[in-house]
Amino acid sequence: MNGTSTKEQTSSTSAPPSKRSRHAGGPSPFSGNGGGVLTDDDAGLEELAVSAALGDAAKGADFPSQVVSYLVTRQAKEMRVREKELKLRREELELERAKLKLQEDRLALEKARFEIERQERELRLRSEKQERTLFMEVLKRVVSSGLADS
């Protein structure tokens, strides 16, 4: 054969499922990743398939219901994970909305501050213009009265 004894060849297949390596010999219809290294979810289903294939009558007869139970459990776990992910996404969106609202409030505050500063400048310029106008009128009167006196 290929240099291994018959005993060595059968020892790897006759070991109980818990003692076997976590690698499948080839693609299994029960492994979700098409063979290779098994995931934790696939390992439970793979062990069920192996026990049925080995002729374990107690487990083999109940295999379809075990598969259904496994799939229902897996689906429930996936649904809980999706619900948690959705909840996290909603919280992230709520946080983003709060950040945007805060940014809008800051911009509104800054706009109001600029408007107040503009109004203050306008009042100051108007006041300075009135002072200059008044000063010019006083100066004209002084000059007029000074010229009239001379």
DSSP label of 22: S
Beta carbons of 48 and 70 less than 8 angstroms apart: yes
- What does pLDDT average to in each consecutive run of 10 residues of the chain (150 residues)? 49 48 49 52 62 54 88 97 98 98 98 98 98 95 79
Beta carbons of 33 and 42 less than 8 angstroms apart: yes
Q: What is the pLDDT of residue 120?
A: 98
For residue 132, what are the β-bridge partners?
A: none
Q: Give me the DSSP letters along 70-98.
A: HHHHHHHHHHHHHHHHHHHHHHHHHHHHH
Beta carbons of 25 and 37 less than 8 angstroms apart: no
Tokens 């004894």 correspond to what residue? 5
Distance (Å, whole) CA 150 – CA 128: 32
Write down the pTM of the prediction. 0.43
Tokens 């059968």 correspond to what residue? 10
